[in-house]
């Protein structure tokens, strides 16, 4: 167990270092075009560019620059945002908090919904209910987030006029503004988790001990709740943790659409404005969150599954 933890942790650190190298090469070296042109624009003169390069230390060797950059990063100095004219950290943290709120409500609704639907359809494979839920899941995952945002806006904002169309939270936090973004994210995501839960449940239902439990005369409800669910819910745990990775992509679209001041909108802004320091910080945060949740998923799975835990 300790060895596994160490291994997973080692891989996590390794991934982050590799990603940081790739990021650095993409954004800060001449590999994909001159960074000075990217920051100062196409119309900057050569002297201006040279001055900028000198000031920012771009004339030093790449390896030295990378080491410095990594050192700053590790000690919490994320650099200065060009667009926001201030330390990246001060821009980033409130945005992350906003996205955490969005993510929390998305998961709070998506997890129970997808588990219930998945278990219901996995209980009796091939039944009418099962087919219905699975086609419904395919339907909802086929609609991209921006399209469902358009459909929901047309219905709830322009049609019924129940909900506000933007979620910029200008006049303080308002729960009403959170409903549409959460709805869009849940609708797009739940189908996949429900499908994985269904597969896991269906597999458990064909196992020997469920047959034994049914044959010894246990009430069907008890077979499901006491015997089947415990094992059927191990796999969905991993899937749900991995869903955090998908959510990071989803929030970009949803926050952009609803003008929500979150992390996803920030990363898009940073890349469109060539705000290199901000983009690097955002990308590293995204990778830390993604790889961190994968590590938790792996460790959690080992912990929940006794066949792996004790071997």
Quick one: 204 or 289, whose CB is closer to other proteins?
Answer: 289
Measured distance CA(142)–CA(135) in Å, rounded: 11
Report the nearest approach of other proteins to the CB of residue 175 (Å): 23
Report the nearest approach of other proteins to the CB of residue 102 (Å): 15
Q: Pick from 91, 100, 94: which is nearest to 280 by CA?
A: 91
Quick one: 191 or 236, whose CB is closer to other proteins?
Answer: 191
Residue 275, Cβ density class (10 Å: 0-12 exposed, 13-18 middle, ≥19 buried): buried
Report the nearest approach of other proteins to the CB of residue 17 (Å): 10
Residue 244, Cβ density class (10 Å: 0-12 exposed, 13-18 middle, ≥19 buried): middle
Quick one: 56 or 214, whose CB is closer to other proteins?
Answer: 56
Report the nearest approach of other proteins to the CB of residue 144 (Å): 5
- Cβ atoms of 244 and 260 closer than 8 Å: no
Contacting residues toward other proteins, per CB under 8 A: 11, 15, 18-19, 23, 26-27, 32-33, 134-135, 138-139, 141-147, 150-151, 153-154, 157-158, 165, 245-246, 248-250, 252-253, 256-257, 267-268, 271-272, 274, 279, 282-283, 286-287, 290-291, 294
H helix or E strand, kind and range, residue 87: strand 86-87
Question: For 124-207, where are the alpha helices, taking DSSP H only?
Answer: 128-142, 145-152, 176-205
Report the nearest approach of other proteins to the CB of residue 181 (Å): 15
**CA 53 to mean position of chain CA atoms:** 35
204-to-128, 137, 217 alpha-carbon distances in Å: 20, 21, 18
Q: DSSP E strands: which ranges in the chain? A: 80-81, 86-87
Quick one: 223 or 289, whose CB is closer to other proteins?
Answer: 289
Q: How many helices (H) and strands (E) does the chain have?
A: 15, 2
Quick one: 204 or 290, whose CB is closer to other proteins?
Answer: 290
Quick one: 158 or 173, whose CB is closer to other proteins?
Answer: 158
Report the nearest approach of other proteins to the CB of residue 268 (Å): 6
Q: 86 forms bridges with which residues in the sheet?
A: 81
């Amino acid at each position: 167990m300790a060895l596994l933890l160490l291994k997973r942790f080692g891989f996590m650190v390794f991934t982050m270092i590799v990603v940081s190298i790739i990021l650095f090469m993409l954004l800060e070296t001449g590999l994909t075009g001159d960074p000075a042109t990217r920051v100062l624009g196409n119309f900057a003169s050569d002297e201006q560019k040279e001055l900028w390069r000198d000031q920012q230390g771009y004339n030093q060797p790449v390896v030295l620059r990378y080491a410095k950059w990594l050192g700053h990063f590790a000690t919490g100095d994320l650099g200065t945002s060009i667009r926001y004219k201030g330390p990246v950290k001060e821009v980033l943290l409130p945005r992350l908090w906003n996205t955490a709120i969005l993510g929390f409500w998305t998961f709070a609704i998506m997890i129970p919904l997808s588990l219930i639907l998945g278990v219901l359809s996995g209980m009796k494979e091939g039944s009418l209910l099962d087919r219905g839920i699975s086609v419904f899941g395919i339907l909802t995952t086929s609609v991209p987030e921006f399209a469902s945002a358009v459909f929901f806006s047309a219905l709830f904002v322009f049609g019924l006029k129940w909900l506000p169309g933007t979620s910029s939270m200008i006049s303080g936090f308002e729960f009403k503004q959170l409903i549409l973004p959460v709805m869009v994210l849940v609708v797009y995501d739940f189908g996949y988790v429900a499908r994985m839960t269904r597969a896991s449940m269906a597999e458990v239902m064909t196992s020997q001990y469920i047959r034994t439990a049914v044959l010894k005369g246990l009430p069907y409800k008890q077979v499901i709740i006491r015997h089947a669910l415990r094992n059927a819910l191990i796999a969905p745990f991993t899937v749900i943790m991995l869903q955090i990775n998908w959510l990071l992509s989803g929030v970009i679209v949803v926050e952009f659409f609803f003008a929500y001041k979150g992390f996803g909108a920030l990363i898009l802004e940073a890349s469109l404005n060539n705000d290199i320091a901000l983009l690097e910080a955002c990308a590293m945060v995204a990778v830390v969150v993604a790889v961190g949740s994968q590590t938790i998923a792996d460790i959690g799975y080992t912990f929940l599954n006794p066949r792996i835990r004790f071997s």
